[in-house]
Structure formats: C-alpha cells, structure tokens
Amino acid sequence: MLKKLFILFLIISIPFIYIKSCSGGGGSYQSPVDSGLENGIFHFGNGSEPQGIDPHVVTGVPEHHILISLCEGLTIANPNGGGNLPGVAESWTISDDGKEYIFNLNKNARWSNGETMTADDFVWSWMRILTASLGSQYPDMLYYLVGAEEYHTGKTDNFDDVGIKAIDEHTLKVTLKSPTPFFLGLLSHYSTWPVHKETVLKHGTIDDRNGQWTRPGNFVCNGPFQLKKWELNNKIVVEKNPHYWDASRVQLNEIHFYPVSNVMTEDRMFRAGQLHLTSTLPSQKCPIYIEENNPDLRIDSYMGQYFYRLNTNNPYLNDVKVRKALAYTIDRKAIVEKVTKCGQIPAYSFTPPGSNGYYPDTEIPFDPELAKQLMAEAGYSESNPFPKLEILFNTNEDHRKIALAIQQMWQQNLGIEVELVNQDWKVYLSREMVGDFQVSRAGWIGDYEDPNTFLDLMRPNRGNNKTGWEDPEFDAIVQKANSTNNQEERYILLMEAERILIDNMPIIPLYTYVRAYQLSADVKGYNPHILDHHHPKFIYLERD
Amino acid sequence: MLSIFFKRIFLAIPVLFAVASITFFLIKLAPGGPFDADRAVSPQVLKNLNEAYNLDASNWEQYVDYMSGLLRGDLGPSFRFPGRSVSEMISTGLPITFELAFYAILIALFMGVFSGVLAALKRNTFLDFIPMAIAMIGICVPTFLMGPLLVLIFGINLEILPVSGWGQLPGDKILPSLTLGFAYAAYIARLSRGGMLEVLNQDFIRTARAKGLTERMVVIKHAMQGGLIPVVSFLGPAIAGLLAGSFVVETIFQIPGLGRFYVEAAFNRDYTMILGTTIFFSAMIVFFNLLSDLAALWLNPRSRDAS
C-alpha cells in the first residue's frame, strides 16, 4: 500500500513539476500584447467561433473579421468612411444611366497561391453564390443584377442571362436592373467576394457547403493575409500574404483571432495583456470605464438600430393610434442615460442618422398626454382598459433592463399591464417568424452604407419585416428612390418613405447602437467605421 | 468480476440506444431550427438548406438515417459549422477536456484525501475544523465565482499566471485545473473523513494496533484501504461529471474543450452535434461508473467475496 501511495504521489506531482517548469519558476511572463508588438502580431478578440470561412456560405460578424483579412472584393470600404476604395478593381466606370459598370481589374492582383486573378474568377464566383443548391444566405446582395434573381430562383438556368460578363482577362462588365447608387458599397460585403475556382472544385462541387477547401493548407483566396492555422474554439492564425497586390502596405505579420464568447473573460484577457482588441464590452462595465476615463475604451458610431416590432396582425395593435400612443410614452433619453449608459443615441427614425449623409427629419415625441388622447380616440378608457401586452425578448440581461423600463413607462403613462416574456434565442426567433408575439425587441445592423439597408426591410414580402405591416405607397416610394440615379433626389424620396414608416409606427425605434470595445494604445490605423469594417492593411502596431 | 464487466457492457447498449432515440425526438420538439437566424433567410434558401441536410425528410426517415449512420460510427455533419463533422469536433475537444479533467481529479484527490484523512485522525481539533471548513467553502463556492476570483488574484493583481487559454502560454493550465479541482477536492475531503472515521473505530484496526504496528502503518495499510472506498465509488460519476460539466470552467478560461461544444450546440439547434455529444457523454458516464464499481469491488474484500 505504501508503494502504491508513493506511485500515486509521483503521478500527482507530474503536472505540478510541469507547471513549475513552464511558468519559469513563478516569475511574470511577457504578455502576448508586448511580444506582439515586437513580432507584428495583432491579438484580436473575435466574439465567437466562426461557422466557417467560405464567404458564400457563412454569415456573421466574427466571420467578417476573418474574411476581410483573407479575401478581397472588387472594392474595399474606405477606413475613413465615404466612398469605397479600389480592391481587386483598380478603377471603374459607370454608364450615364447608372446601370452598367465596367471594372478594370488590377493586373497585379493574385491569389494566395500566386496565380493571377481574372475577370472570369468573379463570373464563376457570382455564379456560385446564385447557385440555389449552395444555400448561400446572401444571394439577394446580387439581385440588383439583371437576371440574377431569375437564375437563383430557377426561372432560368442559363447564367449568360445574368448581368455579369468578362470582357477580357482583366475587364468585368456588370449590368444592373436599375441604377443602384449603393452598388459599389455592396462589393465590400464578403458575400460578393471571389473564391478560387480550382481549389473549390478540387475539394467538392460548386454547390458543396461542406467542402474541405477552407482548411489550412487547402485555402486559397486573395486578401492581404493567408490562413496559417485553425485550432477549433481556440484561435485562428493568419499570416501576411506575399502575393497580395498591395503587400508593401501590409505591416502586420500575423493576426491571431480568439473566439472569446464570454465578455467577462474577454475583458480579463484584455486587462492581462492577452488581447490588443476586444469584440465588445461587458455592458455593466461601460459606465464604469467612462467614469474612470479608461484610455483604452473606444465608443464609435455604428450603423445599427435597437427597436421594438409591433405585430400589426394583432387586433389591438392593428390600430395606428395605439401604436403611436405606445411609441409616444417611451422616454428614449431616459433609456440611454439611465439604462444602457454607454453612449447610445436616442432614435427617432428607423434609419440611423448620418448613414452616408442621410439625416431623416422624423420625430417621435415623448408626450404622455398626447398618447393618452390617442388611446382615448382608439376607444380605450378606464372603463374599457387596454388588454395586457406582452413584450417578447431573447434571454439577455440588457434586453430585460430595457423591457423593464418600457414596462414601467407604459404602465405609468397609459395604465397598460405589461408582461415580459424572455425566451431562448431560437425560440424567440421562431416565435417572431411565425408572428406569435405582440411586441418583440429587435435590432438591425446595416450591411452597406446606405439608408436602403434599413428601409428595404419594411417593404412587403421581406422576410425580416415580421410586423405584418404593408404599405403600397411606402413600397412604391422606396422602389422609385432606388431607380433614380440622383442621390439628392433619392434621399428626398427615402425621407418621405421614412416619414410614412414613422407615421404608421409598425416599429418603435429606441436607440442607435454604438460600438463599445477596448483597444490597446499600441494599435494604430484602427479607425472608427460606421459598418465596423477595418481593413487590416491599414492597421499597424507601434508603442504609444 | 469479468462476468460483471461483460454484463454491464451488454446492459449499456440498450441504455445508449434509448438515450439516442429519446434525444433525437426531444430536440425535434424544441422550437426553432438550426437555420433560424436574426437575419431571416428567404423561404427558397431555407428550402435549399433543409434539402442539403436531409431535414426535408420525415422525422422517422431522418431517425432511421441517423441511427444507421450511428451504427457505422458516423455522427453526421455539424449544421452550425459547415465542412466539419461531429466526430471531428468531438475528437478535437476531447483530449483537452480529458487533460483538464485529469489534472482536476489529481488535484482533488491529493487535496481531498490528504485533508480528509488528517481531519479524521485529528478529530475535533483545529486540524479537523479548518480543513473541513475550507471543504465546506469549496462545496459552496461555485466554479463561476472561484475561477474569476483566482484570475483576479493570480492573473490580474499578481500578474504571475495567464488568465485564459490552454497550452498557449506558460502556466495557463494551472488556474483552470485548480478551479475545477477545488470543487471536487471539497467533496472528496468530506467523503474521506467520513469513511476513515467509520473504519478507525472497527475491530481490525484495534487488532492492528495490538499487533504493535506503528500508527502510520495502521492508517496507511489498514484504515485507508477501507476508509477510501466511498471516495473510489464517488470517482466514477465525478470523472464523468468533470468531462460533461467542465463547460463553465472552459468558458471562463477560454479552453477549447468539449463542454463548450455540448452546450453551444443546444443553443444553436445543431441537431447532430447535440446528439453526438449526448451519446458520447452517456457512454462516458456508463463507462466510468462501471470502472469505479469494479474498483470498489476490488478494494472491498466483502463485496468481492459476495460477487
């Protein structure tokens, strides 16, 4: 027995001996942020494990962060905001009617295996996105092209009918159904980026979602970095791509993406010098960091809106007076100052103001008296009170706090009894989708820098409308706006549509999101961007 | 003992079959599907996705399909992570979860047995009260509090250990192993104390002392063999629990183990991943329970003879 115990003791000691030797006798170690500065390695907190890195299959913010380093479209987002910069296309011309685009590809643009990029690469890649059996979730980004929707929905099986042609090896012609002033902006979205045909086909078919071409060693794309290592749920490492056409501008040697889904863990990692950048901030810490003047705290404008959907198919919410009364009794200023407390901006329109120079002039007053009057006009009084309302939200403490505040405002100002219902994410989504709700919390982040990315949502037959509200006049105006080539005229029309929307109130805007995160002072060139696009070729590390 | 082993293995087959079948139909009952997203996809895209993963077939057809795959050892593709199979994901996370559980159980055994035996020998003295009070704290303080506390002290204030990761930075395995180990050390301490107290009062211990053996020999050779049987019985479920329940520690310390896949799969309605991990963990629980039962039998002469 004594011998057995001794052996047991030895076994137990192994990890301690190992740990002791590894930690260098318990002394402090050089943090990744410090060693990253020496080696040009950017440590990036990336939220969650990406679903994958096939730009035509995946969706999501963490996926975007990785893809923007690995692949590149015809244009890239300008790090300082405004019009897009050249990507694979070094220049382009637009016809007078705004429907025809000629892209001149950069002759130095290469894939990460050194092959030259051609216009055919884009034709094949866009055919892949529009191949229905691939199940791409963003085919509608290309529906602006002539024949694209028809090809995707199977009305035609001839890809020659789609408005994309390779004129020669380095010239691409794109024909649109109508002038789409934000079309160049769409091209910086990963769903329109090219994939390497030979690599994809080597590991599967054109519509294979599960092909192994995205694995390290197989993956070929055309961005400033190339895939080096992918440790599931641990980290993804990308290294500088020597074949990138603008490689001389790229200063980082590697980026390490960490899928840290727990915000508190991410915050601790940042404080301990393991990350240069966090994906977000624990909401309860934001006001503390603001008060402490934390030099690493960054709060940037973001093209996202937090709002409540009202189910207009509900007999009580079908009345616009009721919807307006609900909206007029919410004190948005109090919500951002006393509940969210992280620099959010009260919202009085559906489209966040400032989206590419668009400032909607709609107003939503906080006027409980007017709201009471509207409720009375709708036929509700003390003798005939409004029935109990239910606010649906996905389980999350921040959503609960906001819902609690609104519950109190509606109870206090309108005497409406409100029940809060939180559901697991997927249950919440499925209830929203089938219309099994009265009021539900929602958020929307723009895909491109144009008001259309918001207003298009509320058109009839849009899967993300979910409110049951349809207005032919609204639809006609948005459609008309998108068929004009004159931006000024277009914005006037879109503002008119915005007014109709706010006047009908199928959604109640609450506040405009901000992007709050922590960034090490050593990181330079990471400029605020309304869509959170940060092209890594502009980022570098330098001791502050 | 061999016949018991085979009998239990044989019994495990219907258990696992039932687990797989019940889980399969239960997850189909949960509202929401794997492709529901904040940004709703068009009905056309949803149809294509369902076709791609055979979700357009009837539940019964899908069940038969899944079970026949399972018999061939194929756990199917993950719905959440295109291009990854469930088997691949389990085999990626498993070694890490095993390693974490291994260190944790060693820490738990070392600390638990030592303090438990000491407390039993020095009953009603400070050497009894202090370790048992600490053990009580260990049982009461959940890992989601213990983890961040240790990180705050050793990672952020003293700056001597990394706050997260696994095998990335020197010493990053220490805090997660300690956090997970503490919780189990506390249970083991109480179990060993109880077991030892029971054994120390028995006749054969008196006989051993009467033979003139040193106190150390009495404790180590005679008392501990019987006194630690409850600990051995506890180890089976504890190891299984460590494997399946390390989710919290894996999340706090950003460890790429299996526990995170297991829980996140349920949130994502990643059907095949939920099934794969559930079946796998069930098999682990069955296996480790069997192992600890066999070890307890081997240690306890009475039950060994009875069998």
What tens digit of pLDDT does each residue of B157-198 get?
888 899 999 988 888 999 999 999 988 998 899 999 999 998
Cβ neighbours of B105 in A, within 8 Å = none
Residue A188 contacts residue A87 (beta carbons within 8 Å):
yes
| Chain B residues 157-176 within an 8 A CB cutoff of chain A | 159-166, 168-171, 173-174
Residues of B in contact with A135 (CB under 8 A): 45, 48-49, 52
pLDDT at residue number A163? 96
Quote the distance between the C-alpha of residue B178 and its chain's center. 15
Instruction: Identify the closest residue of chain A to B45 by CA–CA distance.
Output: A135
Least confident segment among A110-119, B148-157, B226-235: B226-235
Q: So what's the pLDDT on residue A21?
A: 42
Q: Is B109 at the interface with chain A, CB within 8 A?
A: yes
A258 touches chain B (CB under 8 A): yes
| pLDDT reported for residue A221 | 97
Helix (H) or strand (E) holding A175: strand A171-175
Instruction: Give the one of B32, B220, B256 whose C-beta lies nearest to A426's C-beta.
Output: B32
Contact at CB, B162 and A424, closer than 8 angstroms: no
Cα separation, A393 vs A513, whole angstroms: 17
Contact between chains at B42 and A211 (C-beta distance less than 8 A):
no
- How far apart are the two ends of chain A, measured CA to CA in Å? 61
Q: Under a CB-based contact definition with an 8 Å cutoff, are residues A145 and A180 in contact?
A: no
Q: What is the ipTM metric for this complex?
A: 0.86
| Per-residue pLDDT tens digits for B36-48 | 887 777 787 788 8
Which residues, numbered 35 to 64 in chain B, qualify as contacts with chain A under a Cβ-Cβ cut-off of 8 Å?
36-45, 48-49, 51-52
Chain A residue numbers with beta carbons less than 8 Å from the beta carbon of B37 are 59, 137, 429
Residue B21 confidence class, pLDDT cut points 50, 70, 90: very high
Q: Note whether B81 contacts A26, CB cutoff 8 Å.
A: no
| C-alpha distances out from residue A336 to A306, A323, A379, A510, B211, Å | 11, 21, 32, 9, 79
CB neighbour list of residue B60: distance below 8 Å, 6 or more residues apart: none
Between CA B39 and CA A140 the distance in angstroms is 12
Question: What is d(CA A368, CA A365) in angstroms, rounded to the nearest whole number?
Answer: 9
Name every chain B residue with its beta carbon within 8 A of the beta carbon of A425. Answer: 32, 267
Q: How far is CA A252 from CA A41, A226, A542, A544, in A?
A: 6, 12, 11, 16
**Do the Cβ atoms of B164 and A274 come within 8 Å?**
yes
Provide the token pair at A227: 């895939």
Q: Supply the pLDDT for residue A204.
A: 92
**Residue B174's pLDDT is what?**
94
| A54 contacts chain B (CB < 8 A) | yes
Instruction: Please report, for residues B36, B215, B223, the alpha-carbon distance to residue B203 in angstroms, rounded to integers and kept in the order given.
Output: 67, 15, 11
A443: helix, strand or coil = strand
CB contact under 8 A, A11 and B106: yes
Q: Are A530 and A301 in contact (CB under 8 A)?
A: yes
Portion 180-219 of B in contact with A at CB < 8 A:
none
Q: Tell whether A209 lies on the interface with B, counting CB pairs under 8 A.
A: yes
- How far apart CA A249 and CA A263 sit, in angstroms, is 33
**What one-letter code names the amino acid at B99?**
E
Task: Report whether B103 contacts B95 (CB < 8 A).
Answer: no
Contact A58 B82 (CB under 8 A): yes
Bridge-partner residues for A512, per DSSP? A305, A345
Beta bridge mates, A176 = A145
Cα(A222)–Cα(A11) distance, integer angstroms: 50
SS3 assignment for A66-85: HHHHHCCCCEECCCCCCCCE
CB atoms within 10 A of CB A215: 14
H/E run at residue A541: strand A540-541
Which residues in chain A are contacts of B252 at CB distance < 8 A?
262, 264-265
Contacts (Cβ under 8 Å, ≥6 apart) of B114? none
Which candidate, B262, B256, B95, places its Cα nearest to that of B168? B256
Distance between B41 CA and the closest CA of chain A, angstroms: 6
Query: What does the DSSP assignment read for A407-435?
Result: HHHHHHHH---EEEEEE-HHHHHHHHHTT
Q: Which of B31, B41, B106 sits opposite A427 (nearest CB)?
A: B31
Alpha-carbon gap: A139 to the closest alpha carbon of chain B (Å)? 9
Confidence of residue B241 (pLDDT cuts 50, 70, 90): confident
Cα dihedral across residues A57, A63, A64, A68: positive or negative? negative
Contact B269 A430 (CB under 8 A): no
Token pair, residue A278, equals 């966090």
Contact of B70 with chain A, judged by CB distance below 8 Å, is answered with no
Please indicate whether, in this complex, the C-beta atoms of A268 and B170 are within 8 angstroms of each other. Answer: no
From B194, B223, B265, select the one nearest B23 (Cα to Cα). B265
* Pairing outcome for strands A540-541 and A523-524: antiparallel
**Nearest CA among B102, B112, B100 for reference residue B167:** B100
Distance, CA of A397 to CA of A543 (rounded, Å): 37
- Could you tell me the pLDDT band of residue B275, with boundaries at 50, 70 and 90? very high
Helix (H, G, I), strand (E, B) or coil at A101: strand
Q: Is A32 on the interface with B (CB under 8 A)?
A: yes
Bridge partner list, B164: none
The larger pLDDT score, comparing residue B220 to residue A302, is at: A302
Q: Does A59 sit within 8 Å of B39, measured CB to CB?
A: yes
Strand A540-541 to strand A418-423: parallel, antiparallel, or no bridges (unpaired)? Answer: unpaired
Q: Is the pLDDT of residue B261 over 90?
A: no
Q: Which helix (H) or strand (E) holds A257?
A: strand A254-258
Query: Considering only CB atoms, which chain A residues are within 8 Å of B82?
Result: 51-52, 54, 57-58, 209-210
| CB contacts, 8 Å: B213 with chain A | none
- Rounded CA gap, B22 and B14, in Å? 12
Flag if A1 and B42 touch (Cβ within 8 Å).
Answer: no
Nearest to A1 among B45, B51, B221 (CB): B221
Give me the pLDDT at residue A82, please: 78
What pLDDT score does A27 carry?
A: 45
B87 touches A: beta carbon within 8 Å: no
Count CA atoms within 13 Å of residue B265 on its CB side: 23
Closest residue, chain A, to B159 (C-alpha): A28
Contact B74, B87 (CB under 8 A): yes
SS3 content of chain B, % helix, strand, coil (to 5): 75, 0, 25
A446 contacts chain B (CB < 8 A): no
Instruction: Inform me whether the pLDDT recorded for B257 exceeds 60.
Output: yes
The mean pLDDT value for B267-272 works out to 92
Please give the Cα distance from A210 to B86 (Å, whole number): 12
Residue A28 has what pLDDT?
54
Per-residue confidence (pLDDT) for residue A12, from 0 to 100: 42
CA angle (A100, A102, A103) in 5-degree steps: 140
Taking the alpha carbons at both ends of chain B, their separation in whole angstroms is 7
Q: Find, in chain A, the residue whose alpha carbon is nearest to that of B43.
A: A463
Nearest-by-Cβ selection for A433 from B40, B49, B52: B40
Token pair for B280: 């796998």
**Strand residues in B132-266 grouped as ranges (E):** none
CA distance B195 to chain A (A): 17
Question: Amino acid identity, residue B29?
Answer: L
Which DSSP state fits B147? H
Residues 96-155 of chain A with CB under 8 A from chain B are 132-137, 139-140, 152-153
**Using an 8 Å Cβ cutoff, are A454 and A350 in contact?**
yes
The pLDDT, as a whole number, for residue B46 is: 84
CA distances from B198 to A255, A307, B227, B246, B282 (A): 59, 64, 7, 32, 33
Mean pLDDT of B14-21: 93
Q: Which two tokens stand for residue A370?
A: 């007017």
pLDDT of residue B307: 47
Mutate to test the interface with B, among A11, A19, A436 (most CBs of B within 10 A): A19
Between the alpha carbon of residue B172 and those of residues A36, A277, A343, B161, B169, the distances in Å are 18, 20, 36, 6, 6
CA distance B260 to chain A (A): 9
Determine the 3-state secondary structure of A473 from DSSP: helix
Contact A221, A111 (CB under 8 A): yes
DSSP class of residue A514 equals E
Contacts of B199 in chain A (CB under 8 A): none
Q: What is the pLDDT along chain A (544 residues), one digit of tens a residue?
A: 445 445 544 544 444 444 444 444 344 567 899 999 999 999 999 999 999 999 999 888 999 999 999 999 999 999 887 788 999 999 999 999 999 999 999 999 999 999 999 999 999 999 999 998 888 888 889 999 999 999 999 999 999 999 999 999 999 999 999 988 889 989 989 999 999 999 999 999 999 888 899 999 999 999 999 999 999 999 999 999 999 999 999 999 999 999 998 999 999 999 999 999 999 999 999 999 999 999 999 999 999 999 999 999 999 999 999 999 999 999 999 999 999 999 999 999 999 998 788 999 999 999 999 999 999 999 998 889 999 999 999 999 999 999 999 999 999 999 999 999 999 999 999 999 889 999 999 999 998 889 999 999 999 888 889 999 999 999 999 999 988 888 889 999 999 999 999 999 999 999 999 999 999 999 999 999 999 999 999 999 998 7
In chain B, the residue whose alpha carbon lies closest to the alpha carbon of A261 is B251
- Residue A473 CA to residue A379 CA, distance in Å, equals 27
pLDDT of residue A29: 64
> Cα separation of B27 and B25, whole Å?
6
| Binary contact (A426, B160; C-beta < 8 A) | no
Asked if the Cβ–Cβ distance from B170 to A132 is below 8 Å, we say: no
The pTM score is 0.89
Q: What is the mean pLDDT of residues B237-246?
A: 81
- Give the pLDDT score at A13: 47
Q: Does B25 touch chain A (CB under 8 A)?
A: no
**pLDDT value of residue A306:** 97
Three-class DSSP category at A237: strand
Q: Does residue A532 sit at the B interface (CB-CB below 8 Å)?
A: no
Nearest to B251 among A235, A262, A272 (CB): A262
**DSSP reduced 3-state for A297:** strand
At residue B244 the predicted structure's pLDDT band, cuts being 50, 70 and 90, is: confident
Compute CA distances A354 → A227, A365, A530, whole Å: 36, 20, 9
**Percentages helix, strand, coil for chain A, rounded to the nearest 5?**
35, 20, 45
